[in-house]
Amino acid sequence: MNQTASTLMSIVMLAAFVLLVFGARFAWAGTYRKQGLMMIAVAAILVANVLIWVL
């Protein structure tokens, strides 16, 4: 894997982490439950895509 791909995978993993944290926060608060759950789902999809590309 070249340098650009590694950098992009790192950025995607950071984005997935941020989505997971704030999605859990929104889902736990209850006011934006649907949006929080959607953010968690997107984070899971991003992690799955990174795993597919890396493995």
Distance of alpha carbon 6 from alpha carbon 3, whole angstroms: 5
Residue 50: phi, psi to the nearest 5?
-65, -40
Domain ranges, ordered by start, for the chain:
3-54
* pLDDT value of residue 26: 95
| 1: confidence class by pLDDT, cuts 50, 70, 90 | confident
Distance of alpha carbon 30 from alpha carbon 35, whole angstroms: 10
pLDDT in tens, 4-55: 999 999 999 999 999 999 999 999 998 899 999 999 999 999 999 999 999 8
* Cα distances (angstroms) measured from residue 48 to each of 11, 28, 32, 39: 14, 24, 25, 14
pTM of the full structure: 0.90
* pLDDT value of residue 11: 97
* pLDDT value of residue 49: 97
